[in-house]
Structure 1
């Protein structure tokens, strides 16, 4: 790289000397070389510059690829450690390292995705990154469930499924960045009907220009391949009788139209005509019209089926019933609802397969494949998670694990509805906006203030940046949960404050994905302001507690605690400041996410120290034979009274698990008061 850069610099210097304007004013007797006197030198310098810059770009590309491969290898190595871990304490340490490595991998692959020019590769990369992002949280709860219930077979199966899927996604990323051929397990299915019809029509219409451009066997084979794929529709139990009959009729008509076209075509060739006569032109038009009608019928059948399925499963009744049966420990009911979920899964998988045929573009086709694979994998994982909960109905982490997988299912249904809308837009010719891949966050309406709520759409680069920050924030909230789980006294005021702040940070993470209750930027800024207030309250509590400590201990606690008020005040000021325009609104959103990350990082430094000093303080008091810590209890009572007066509700966190979506929503009380 250094050699290539030096070559480029030398070539640039040569060109600069040859094109120096000042040298043109010198007399010719000076015999200075210029662009006019040394054209050969100019050509050589230009070629050297082009060659060296090309080398720099190629080497830079190789370095990026090597960085991604190295990052992937680190993730795989840590995953192997996570699989073998046997204690919760060891798991927390390794998962923290794993989280940092996943964030690094997300940054590298996100930048690479933006640099890709091939839309097909970009869509595959987006799908793989979506799998990795969702599986990171599944891996957390599935592993913790396995640690809590090491002898449970269904928990082991559940965990192994997550690890297997992550490894496949990591391998797919490497295949894309190295331009390697897909493995047998990840091969792209045959050409879709939509693509097949488009290619067939192009071949038919090419007969206008040349009667000898292809053979009749080629056209017949192409049509038969298309009609063979239509059997996916006609053989499906979910295709209506009307659509099935119409598809079969149009398939028969397409064969007849092609036979007529071939007949006219062969006759025209015998006449040695230079261009297609009227009867052949008519045959070409009728053949293409028939194929368009077939394509429209197939689109109608698949789109109608998908819309009906999404509407039918919008209430998630089976998932809710599975959760209830699991909590009740009713294995028989779990088995019954598992069968219903399996039926749902088969319907959705087949619908995704049909949607792929009429998707219209390669990126949408790959997204259909991703949706199909997701339903295929998550369905059995939900069932294994429900079985684990039914076997251990009192296990909070088993319930948490089931919630995580159910959320993934619901999220994929939401993605599928967006996918259906995009397919319909392509079919209707609506291609005005840049495509947004489903692995990137899908923000809702954005506004600068409540009075004038105006939708602001982030472009792909902005979405990627917010998505990266969101993933980092999600991992920080997980670390916070793990830290809080170590506390014996879950009602401790500092712990409750930290849990509430973690819950708010999680809601901000959901916003970066276009999910949760925060729908507008104003919602986000209000949540950030409440988070800052909670942080200042926690800081005050810790400072009062520090007054009861010895000088060295007090200094150690205050050293970390004093970092909290400034960043909370910065977030508070930023949240209250008005903004106008898309760019400034995005910058404010990004700042809010970054400041929230900063607060969570400070909390992760404070809590372990506070925990250690509180234990020491209680031990000293106990040794002295003193009663319960009056000051601490008094502080807690004051805080409880303050919360009750303000109408604030503080939820505790399920032990040994990440907070469920319901708990995060419950903490967003400000939205309910709007």
Structure 2
């Protein structure tokens, strides 16, 4: 871990909403560098835990365990020493950092002692090593996250320097002061570009990474416009259009820096008062671009799929109806567009009506099922209603994609016409033909509005976070900077002999050209991805067995094998899953050794059997994260995850039957609370497994999600099994007392 200190002399005033101390249980890793720092420790602990569960039949093996324990403790000691050094240089994290270092040091010492105990053959509780390992991972992660707070602080200080430089540039009144201020601004921009570039590459979250790239791009492209618009404003201080050009650039650059703050602080807004002074206001929803048709369709499909497990509960009708209403509301961007053909508009409206009818049918079937039976299994009629509704939603998605692709096909001609119009506007401005300039400006704004409409639809149907962000910021930047070409031309028409005014028009025209090139690139990526998605849907969905009866994993055409670097990235999640598996194995061993729950022998044996099956499957998935075991490709992993989810569903039903025998009380309440969480985790894992992927990057993301969701489900199952043991003991004791009373 690289030591990081602050050398800036200026006082840093943090946003109080953003500077809350790290919560003990909130250790989300958002950067790749922290993951990479954890990997060596993960490997050491993984070796240790795996070794402790093998028979130690030789002195050599015992000594190897002791050496691993010593190595872990020594590495932890070096690690926390660096952490404490960072704490000494940064008082705002000092207490939290020292506490985390203390916990890490204690866990490292405990692991060393436990490993030394193996030499004396006194280590009887293998769970102790697992618990110490989990504690060590948590505390080390906490140290890294606190160190990351310091890195964030440096970046925000660099951003604040640039903001102050912008303020000085905005207030200068002569060229001499401007040249001096712009020189300082340039140096500080270089530092900010370096820090934000490093942060962008380090971020794990695709959406945040794309947002940071968008902010950096605005700052980079706006620098030249800031130079020419400021010089034009200084040369022609009484010209309103020159001032508008300059103020727009300042406002957009400040907005970009606010976005940097927002990304770095992971969703905390900054400079609200300053934003209010900008010509165009943007809210948090402009930065979080998930309010799309694609997102609402996915949410609705998830809710419909969930009814297969939960049936139609009391709140299902309201949730499903509201989710479909959201879809219909968002399709209005397609039907209201002046560039949507009559045929496409009618098809969208018909498909929305069809989805409403199919939903009503599902709700009717669900209501009848609730009235007629108390069972928990869906009927064939309900299954058919679910399938029909999902097909209607898929057809609606394909129609929306087709509508967007049709509009995107006209994009090239519109952009070319816009480029030609820019040339005309430039020539008209040089000729000081004000009336003609107004006519050309109106036509140019029509082209801009057309392109903006296409951007809006592209964002709605974009399948990935990166494309959604790219489409959104292409739209925002074009809306702000596009009309400024005309504004710059007005200045030139008033001062046709001004060289700086002419240069300013050229710079804004270059920005226009860059922005429409961005739109073209985004459109190509979105259309290509949607085209493949529509083809895959035809190949996959038509060949699936009936959902609910068999596995529904949509297998990719070519299984993917992860390389060593990708396996290392998911090693931490795999190890955490392995630790949970070890704890559950210890619980099932305890159950079998004690013979708990004699009165419910069949159910209890089935609980143990299902739990051990799940533990075995989770272990094979853990081995996959290390490049070992029987699972060789990602498809092998997905198939195993599917079986894992199905086994969890079977265990859920067995435990539900067992719970009826448990007397009321705190233990039964705890059992039911944990048990009720299982269907949600099962459904989420099944959704992830059957979600088709395109490309290796998407496949790797899917692998990571499958491991994380399997780990979450395993954690819940472990709690269920533990509580079952306690409840079974209570049942056994109650029966024993009853038998004694009878005799």
Contact 1:385 1:398 in 2 (8 A): yes
Q: Which of 331, 334, 342 is the equivalent residue of 1:230?
A: 331
Q: Partner residue of 1:310?
A: 412
- Asked if 1:156 corresponds to 2:257, the answer is no
Question: In the alignment, what sits opposite 2:179?
Answer: 92
- Report how far residue 43 of structure 1 moved: 9.4
Deviates more, 1:134-143 or 1:308-317: 308-317
User: Which residue pairs with 2:233 in the alignment?
Assistant: 146
5 Å matches for 1:183-262? 185-188=282-285, 191-213=291-313, 214-262=315-363
- Gap change, CA 1:268 and 1:38, over 3 Å in 2: closer
Per-residue CA shift, 1:224-272, capped at 9, x if unaligned? 1211211221122111111111111111222222222222222222221
CA contact (8 A) 2:261 2:268 kept: no
Q: Could you tell me the TM-score, scaled by structure 2's length?
A: 0.52
Residue 276 of structure 1 aligns to a residue whose secondary structure is: coil
Superposed CA offset, 1:329-358 (max 9, x none): 222222111111111122222222222211
> Distance in 1 between the 2:114 and 2:495 partners?
80
Out of 152, 160, 168, the residue aligned to residue 73 of structure 1 is 160
- Checking the alignment, whether the CA contact within 8 Å between 2:111 and 2:133 is kept in structure 1 is no
Deviations 1:253-306 (A, max 9, x none): 222222222222222222215322222222222211111111111111122212
Does the CA contact (< 8 Å) of 2:108 and 2:136 recur in 1? no
Could you list the per-position Cα deviations for residues 57-83 of structure 1 after superposition, in whole angstroms to 9, with x for gaps in the alignment?
Answer: 133211111111111111111111111
Corresponding residue of 1:101: 188
Within 5 Å, which residues of 2 pair with 1:530-549? Answer: none
Q: Which among 388, 400, 421 is matched to residue 286 of structure 1?
A: 388
Note if 1:179 corresponds to 2:252: no
Residues of 2 paired with 1:35 and 1:108: CA distance? 52
SS in structure 2 at match of 1:200 = helix
Partner SS for 2:245 = helix
| Aligned with residue 422 of structure 1, among 500, 519, 525 | 525
Residue aligned with 2:228, SS: helix
Paired with 1:219 and 1:252, the residues of 2 have a C-alpha distance of: 15
Q: Give the TM-score normalised by the residue count of structure 1.
A: 0.58
Q: Deviations over 1:75-94 (max 9, x none)?
A: 11111111121222322222
> Could you say what secondary structure the match of 1:314 adopts?
helix
Residue 425 of structure 1, CA deviation: 3.3
Tell me if 1:384 matches 2:491: no
- Root-mean-square deviation (CA), in Å? 3.3
**Which deviates further from its counterpart, 265-274 or 338-347?**
265-274
Q: Does 1:333 align with 2:433?
A: no
**2 CA distance for matches of 1:262 and 1:36?**
58
Displacement of 1:221 after TM fit?
1.7
What's the CA shift for 1:384? Answer: 1.0
SS of alignment partner, residue 368 of structure 1: helix
Tell me if structure 1 keeps the 8 A contact 2:312–2:366.
no
Q: Distance in 2 between matches of 1:103 and 1:46?
A: 43
The answer to whether the 8 A contact 2:455-2:474 is kept is: yes
Q: Distance in 2 between matches of 1:265 and 1:42?
A: 49
CA 1:211–1:430 in structure 2 vs 1: closer, same or farther (change >3 Å)? closer
Answer yes or no: is 1:119 the counterpart of 2:219. Answer: no
Tell me how far 1:142 sits from its aligned partner. 0.8
Instruction: Give the Å deviation of 1:402.
Output: 1.1
With over 3 angstroms needed to count, the CA separation of the structure-2 counterparts of 1:318 and 1:50, relative to structure 1, is: same
Contact 1:128 1:173 in 2 (8 A): yes
**How do residues 359-508 of structure 1 correspond to structure 2 at under 5 angstroms?**
359-429=462-532
Would you say 1:169 and 2:256 are equivalent positions?
yes
Deviation at 1:116, TM superposition (A): 1.7
| Mapped partners of 2:143, 2:122: distance in 1 | 26
Alignment partner of 2:282: what SS? helix
**How many residues were matched structurally?**
423
Alpha carbons of 1:226 and 1:329: their partners in 2 closer, same or farther (altered >3 Å)?
A: same
Question: Do structure 1's residue 350 and structure 2's residue 437 form an aligned pair?
Answer: no
Post-superposition offset of 1:390: 1.0
Q: Distance in 1 between matches of 2:127 and 2:371?
A: 59
> Given the superposition, is the C-alpha separation of residues 271 and 371 from structure 1 closer, same or farther in structure 2, using an over 3 Å criterion?
same
Unmatched segments (≥5 aa) in structure 1 = 29-33, 432-674
Q: Does the 8 Å contact 2:358/2:385 carry over to 1?
A: yes
Distance 2:125 2:325 in 1: 65
Q: Deviations over 1:604-655 (max 9, x none)?
A: xxxxxxxxxxxxxxxxxxxxxxxxxxxxxxxxxxxxxxxxxxxxxxxxxxxx
Q: What is the Cα deviation at residue 98 of structure 1?
A: 0.6
Aligned match of 2:145: 58
Gaps of 5+ in 2: 1-83, 88-96, 273-280, 535-743
Change (3 A) 1:277 1:19: closer
Q: How many angstroms apart in 2 are the aligned matches of 1:66 and 1:387?
A: 43
Deviation at 1:430, TM superposition (A): 6.8
Compared CA separation, residues 82 and 19, structure 1 to 2 (3 A): same
State the distance in 1 between where 2:416 and 2:387 align: 43
1:363: Cα distance to partner? 2.6
Measure, in 1, the Cα distance between the counterparts of 2:424 and 2:383. Answer: 60
Distance 1:181 1:86 in 2: 35
Matching residue of 1:297: 399
1:261 and 1:378 mapped to 2: Cα distance? 48
On the 8 A contact 1:302/1:351 being kept in 2, the answer is: yes
The match for 2:666 is none
Question: Does structure 2 conserve the Cα–Cα contact (< 8 Å) formed by 1:18 and 1:42?
Answer: no
Counterpart of 2:644 in structure 1 is none
Q: 1:140 to 1:259 in 2, by over 3 A?
A: same
